[in-house]
A and B are shown apart, each in its own frame.
Chain A
């Protein structure tokens, strides 16, 4: 009898990826087999039904393959009791012997608010260590610090509607089109309604976001502070200051303006410092001057800098000076990278935050939180932030670390050192939903945490909107929610009362209660206040609809925006201008003459542990790459598509060159995503220096001095297999999951054969040449099992066609040709949602399709998430130019 249960239910939840926080509607088609259909939630105010390529593919990432489903202690499966007891006994031993400061917890912006809350409480009130930091440190710390310096509290003043209502959008260090695609689509849709609306992109790289911009300012890395100091001076000198508002609601303007004049004495000097064209600079300043409704939005390009906090303040300054804050269509706006970095910040889950927007700087706050928690081991000092935490670990000062839902062995700067630190650390506990990540390789205790599709709680997005994330499936295997795991440890440490939660709603209510606890101008004012949610019932929590905070007296939000009328969270109630008196520079020398920038690509997220499971997300860009300007390519003798070696004083990487005039000469760009799970050589983390912002301690991941040279491979190989292989230890390998097969791009510096031994039994098709070409396929019952192609030069083959040969078709000997023969390669997949290739698009354009709309009508490309629209526009332009040249 067939016992497969097919249950259909529609669940509203939120996307697992970036900080836009899109609402997702999930139609569970088959609970047992984890089959779910994902569409955008049309009622969610973040996206109104839109989803990007990554969100659309969420359903492809929830299978049970590679899941961690039982606890493991010292390499052996264990039950929860044993695993939790092991955590507690080791934790206690370390605390007893070395003190609580030798304990650290490293979390993630993907933890839910409830998880975060319990983690923060456990560490700061009960373990007695402030060493709790998260990957948000790598992402948002400069914004947090900038907000606190200017506003007295970490508050995003505006909301997404402002981006639509603004008449000028200034995007700084943000490839919004790829990294926050739904925001970008909303923005572009509003521009189509209002032709006067302008978009300026400030970014050293010419990214996809620039395709639709009115002005692109390719400023020199690290000069953002000067650029915005210059703008402040320009506003002051051209009547752009709202003196009335400024007098009433701000302080430290005069001193700041003086500093700004030091940094940016004239338009010429700014243009010179920032490496910009004078006319472009003047255009930016004058558009800003005359456009009341202006939003300045930024992302990691601003945050991940040696002076990231100063950059954030520099951008906030110009909004304070013009009074353009907290009003519809106005304001400084931080675009967050992770789905719940904001929730983590609200909880206070960073080493230099206390809890619920209260700070270490105020002893009363420490006392307040201690009383609220009834905490026996309340901390009194900030703890170690991410980079410092792993450095302390390497020195042997951190002896117990608990890593939750993140992959620091890959994502941290100077990642080689982080691996060494994890290797050295006495006890490494890792909570994750997957069994094989680069970080879990270092774990003594592995705890199976619930993944996105099974966890349940709340998240907050970039516009302060709290949404429910809901489980689509029951917990698989022995998986547990993180808040449960943490509170079990709390209880086993002897704090039964403090961690006695029956459900996630219990945690949430306590979190809301703390936000409201003694929260007033008289006691300790925090704008972050969820007092209205203190009395939520379990049912109300279950059905909670997305809301922006603060939520004061009822379940409804009171207001969307902050600070239009001042009332900042500083003791004086005034916002503070901050301009440094000098900006530290970047020094390059002949040994490392180039600057390496890092960032995301369109269809992958973070360390690819989830997105790389979705075949369609691997088709746009399937290998780690390094973008190089044609001039540098010439100077350093780099050929497009070939492998190059990038070296910094910290480490080495090997990646494929993309010669691209979109990157300025003197700079390189590499994506941040590749890990040892998917690559050898292509990891950017080992290269990135560990320079950090002195205020926020956020790493400067955008400007590491490096050098680049051609990689001298003795051979190039492509291995495609029906079954995955463990990556061989070669200089370069990139693993790509595809439909029905895995592809491995390989290269190595010496002739040693590390691959042929992997070939399975079967009928062999082979092609050998005396000159060194080797191509082999192993065929079983006419179907290809493994294909291995070798050459002494890069292989010019149609990878997509080869992968199709693994989809159940019978193959002949011509499979070794590596292409369909008469057919041209289809090129990369441009539209991930509908799988539309470059070849199909270019063919259409050659036939006369002249707009994005036509391409959409004919091929559907760009009609779902729209994140490929900038690329479609580029193809339209390129093909048109080519045709004109041909005429």
Chain B
């Protein structure tokens, strides 16, 4: 049997292993190395865990027994962090100097929070939000109450701020843009979110950059903003982006840019080595959301199973999220603001601010080019279908914002 070695056991890796071993005839002897102390878990569930809505065991994707049942040798813990690849010998060396041979090597090393290199970034109490360890560390600070400053008002930052607020801390979110979650929301929906979170007691510093962290006796005590204002802080969480973990690949001489370069079949320059997940870059793009990463897992499993496979193409992906209980869906050019209308372009905006509902459809050339659903994401799948199929929607334009049920069969067919 061929030896398949997987480095990393995050969400992409687990999905890949599931898909591969769903076929009992896969023909590989599989070994997995993970630098984390537990088998792969669902990072999306770290927010509820932090909020205390979930037990730690609830986040595991598969128990250790599953790996045994599927004949996968799983090595967990910092001892098993991969530190070197010997491409000539087809060997990977772990932190504990153990050597693992491979015929095929999957690199799924993931990413880490981006913490800018500013004064004080090495103070105790400054951290990212990515792992179970991070959750544990944050909770231990939160026990005493105090103040947390979350830098980065994207999904992860807002989840962290909410969770810590509910754990008894006063949370302030510092965001460099004037719109929260600007990768998913426009001005109006961002405002709705701001209102909803402010009502929960969160505080915000929008359009502000963090220039330095202040500390006392090695422990963080404040966050200095570009305006000069200093926010007192007992904990600072950076959620302002991620960086791919690519030192291992770089030192092995594999071509990297922002991340490990792979082709449409997730293959690196070395035909025995594949990349997967947040550590790869395909067609110039990197990936931080679960959906494209799961697509990669499917392509890669099929490649290794030697099935006919269509290439992984980074598509404009829809974001379907739940932020602090609020459903969101956004896709394509949700900002809109097209200067020219000429009859074929349009933007439909619906809002019911008292219920926190907002939706926007952007139409260009009689095609659906942008979708933003906030508070009520019903019919998201239908919009995605209209978006992806690129069909002419002129016949259903006025009512499609209410969903598929409002479109008569005739109009839908005509459309």
Min Cβ gap B358→A in Å is 9
Check if A813 sits within 8 Å of B355, measured CB to CB. Answer: yes
Closest A-chain residue to B350, C-beta based? A767
Report the number of A-B residue pairs with Cβ-Cβ less than 8 Å.
Answer: 59
Which of B343, B399, B402 is within 8 Å of A771, CB to CB? Answer: B343
Q: Give residues of chain A (728-780) contacting chain B, Cβ–Cβ below 8 Å.
A: 763-771, 773, 779
- Known contacts A763-B353, A765-B351, A771-B341; is-contact A817 B346 (Cβ 8 Å): no
Give the residues in chain A near B402, CB-CB below 8 Å: 814, 816-817, 821
B399 touches A769 (CB 8 A): no
- Does the CB pair A763–B352 fall under 8 Å? yes
> With A763-B353, A763-B354 as given contacts, are A769 and B346 in contact (CB-CB < 8 Å)?
yes
A765 contacts B347, C-beta separation under 8 Å? no
Contact: B350 with A821, CB < 8 Å?
Answer: no
Which residue among A771, A773, A779, A791 has the maximum number of chain B CB atoms within 10 Å of its CB? Answer: A771
How many B residues touch the partner, as a band? 20 to 34
| Chain B residues within an 8 Å CB radius of A767 | 348-350, 401
Q: Are A813 and B346 in contact (CB under 8 A)?
A: no
Q: Across the interface, do A765 and B398 meet the contact criterion of CB distance under 8 Å?
A: no
Q: Is residue A5 contacting chain B, with contact meaning CB distance below 8 A?
A: no
Interface positions, chain B 371-415, Cβ under 8 Å from A, are 376, 397-399, 401-403, 405-406
Considering the complex, give the chain B residue whose CB is closest to the CB of A824: B408
A477 interface residue (CB < 8 Å to B): no
A297 to chain B, nearest CB (A): 46
Q: Is B357 at the interface (CB under 8 A from chain A)?
A: yes
Q: Please report whether the interface of chain B is mostly helix, strand, loop or mixed according to DSSP.
A: mixed
Give A132 to B352 CA distance when docked, in angstroms: 60
Q: Is the CB of B405 within 8 A of A766?
A: no
Interface residues of A in 790-842 (CB under 8 A from B): 791, 812-814, 816-817, 819, 821-822
CB–CB A817/B399 < 8 A: yes
Given contacts A766-B351, A769-B347, A821-B402, contact A813 B341 (CB under 8 A): no
Q: Compute how far the CA of A451 lies from the CA of B161 in the bound complex, rounded to whole angstroms.
A: 70
- The one of B341, B352, B397 that contacts A765, using a Cβ cutoff of 8 Å: B352
Contacts of A768 in B (CB 8 A): 348-349
Q: Interface centre among B345, B352, B402, B406, by most A CB within 10 Å?
A: B352
Contact of B357 among A770, A813, A822 (CB under 8 A): A813
B346 cross-chain contacts in A, Cβ below 8 A: 769-771
- A773 partner residues in chain B, CB cutoff 8 A: 348, 398
Instruction: Kindly supply a per-residue 1/0 record for chain B positions 300-327, scoring 1 wherever the CB is within 8 Å of any chain A CB and 0 otherwise.
Output: 0000000000000000000000000000
Query: Shortest Cβ distance from A794 into chain B, in angstroms?
Result: 12
Find chain B residues with CB under 8 A from A765 CB: 350-352
CB–CB B354/A779 < 8 A: yes
Within 8 A of B (CB), among A620-646: none
Question: What distance in Å separates the Cβ of B156 from its nearest Cβ neighbour in chain A?
Answer: 29
| With contact pairs A767-B401, A770-B341, A821-B403 given, residues A813 and B348 touching in the complex (Cβ less than 8 Å) | no
Q: Shortest beta-carbon distance, A197 to chain B, in Å? A: 46
Cα distance A771–B341 when bound, in Å? 8
Number of interface residues of A (CB under 8 A): 20
Q: Which of B105-124 contact A (CB under 8 A)?
A: none
| Nearest chain A residue, comparing its CB with the CB of B357 | A813
Partner of A819, one of B347, B352, B406: B406
Chain A hits for B405, CB < 8 A: 821-822
B350 to chain A, nearest CB (A): 4
| CB-defined contacts of A771 to chain B, threshold 8 Å | 341, 343, 346, 397
CB distance from A321 to the nearest CB of B (A): 59
State whether A813 touches B353 (Cβ < 8 A): no
A813's partner among B345, B352, B397 (CB-CB below 8 A) is: B352
Looking at the assembled complex, report how far the CB atom of A885 sits from the nearest CB atom of chain B, in whole angstroms. 17
Least CB distance from B59 to A in Å reads: 34
| Chain A binding surface, main DSSP class | mixed
Shortest C-beta distance, A693 to chain B (Å), equals 51
| Minimum CB distance partner of B375 in chain A | A813
CB-nearest residue of chain A relative to B405? Answer: A821
Closest to B348 in A: A769
Chain A positions 524 through 564: 1 when the CB is less than 8 Å from some CB of chain B, otherwise 0: 00000000000000000000000000000000000000000
B312 CB to closest chain A CB, in angstroms? 36
The reply to whether A812 and B355 form a contact with Cβ atoms under 8 Å apart is yes
Q: Which of A769, A813, A822 touches B398 (beta carbons < 8 Å)? A: A769
Output the nearest chain B residue to A793 by Cβ-Cβ distance. Answer: B398
Return chain A residues, CB-CB under 8 Å to B403.
Answer: 814, 821
Chain B 330-360 interface 0/1 with A at a Cβ cutoff of 8 Å (1 = within): 0000000000010101111111111101000
Question: Which residues on A sit within 8 Å (CB–CB) of B350?
Answer: 765-767, 813, 816
Residues on A with C-beta less than 8 A from B397 are 769, 771
Q: How far is the CA of A634 from the CA of B298 in the complex (A)?
A: 60
Tell me the residues in window 638-692 of chain A with beta carbons closer than 8 Å to chain B beta carbons: none
Q: Which residues of A contact B349 (CB under 8 A)?
A: 766-769
B347: which A residues are within 8 A, CB to CB?
769-770
Residues of B within 8 A of A770 (CB): 341, 345-347
Q: How far is the CA of A341 from the CA of B353 in the complex (A)?
A: 59
A771 to B399 Cα, complex, angstroms:
13
Q: CA A817 – CA B349 in complex, angstroms? A: 13
Closest Cβ of chain A: how far from B334's Cβ, in Å?
15
| Neighbouring A residues of B406 by C-beta, 8 Å | 814, 817, 819, 821
* Whole-angstrom distance between the Cβ of A828 and the nearest chain B Cβ: 19
Chain A residues near B353 (CB, 8 Å)? 763-764
Interface string of B255-270 (1 = CB under 8 A from A): 0000000000000000
Give B182 Cβ to nearest chain A Cβ, in Å.
22
The chain B residue sitting closest to A814, CB to CB, is: B402
Nearest CB of chain B from residue A583's CB, rounded to whole Å: 52
Residues of A within 8 A of B401 (CB): 767
Chain A residue numbers with a CB within 8 Å of B341 are 770-771
Q: In the complex, how many angstroms separate the beta carbon of B377 from the nearest chain A beta carbon?
A: 13
Give B263 Cβ to nearest chain A Cβ, in Å: 42
CA–CA, A625 to B249, complex, Å?
78
Residues in B with CB closer than 8 Å to A779 are 352, 354
A767 to B401, CA, bound (A): 9
- A766: B residues at CB distance < 8 A: 349-352
A57–B340 alpha-carbon span in the complex (Å): 55
Q: Note all chain A residues with C-beta closer than 8 A to B354.
A: 763-764, 779
- C-alpha gap A767/B400 in the complex (Å): 12
Q: Which of A355-370 contact B (CB under 8 A)?
A: none
| A817 CA / B347 CA spacing, docked (Å) | 16
CA distance A768 to B188 in the complex (A): 13
CB distance from A776 to the nearest CB of B (A): 10
A795 shortest CB reach to chain B, Å: 10
Q: Looking across the interface, which residue of chain A has its beta carbon closest to that of B338?
A: A770
A819-B397 Cα distance, complex, nearest whole Å = 16
For the complex formed, measure the closest distance between the CB of A550 and the CB atoms of chain B, giving whole angstroms.
64
Nearest residue, chain B, Cβ from A819: B406
Chain A residues contacting B398 (CB-CB under 8 Å) are: 769, 773, 791
Give A765 to B352 CA distance when docked, in angstroms. 4
Question: Complex: how many Å from CA A763 to CA B356?
Answer: 11
In the complex the two chains form, what is the Cα distance from A516 to B386 in whole Å?
86
Cα distance A773–B397 when bound, in Å?
A: 11
> A residues within 8 A CB of B376?
813
8 Å CB interface, B35-65 against A: none
Once the chains are docked, how many angstroms separate the CA of A448 from the CA of B341? 58
5 closest pairs, A vs B, by CB? A763-B354, A821-B405, A817-B402, A765-B352, A813-B352
Interface residues of A (CB under 8 A from B): 763-771, 773, 779, 791, 812-814, 816-817, 819, 821-822
Given contact pairs A766-B350, A779-B352, enumerate 16 new A-B contacts (beta carbons under 8 Å): A764-B354, A767-B401, A768-B348, A768-B349, A770-B341, A770-B345, A791-B398, A812-B352, A813-B350, A813-B352, A813-B355, A813-B376, A814-B403, A816-B350, A821-B402, A821-B406
The 24 listed contacts between A and B (C-beta, < 8 Å) are A763-B352, A763-B353, A764-B354, A765-B350, A765-B351, A767-B349, A768-B349, A769-B346, A769-B347, A770-B341, A771-B397, A773-B398, A779-B352, A779-B354, A812-B352, A813-B352, A813-B355, A813-B376, A814-B406, A816-B402, A817-B399, A817-B406, A819-B406, A822-B405
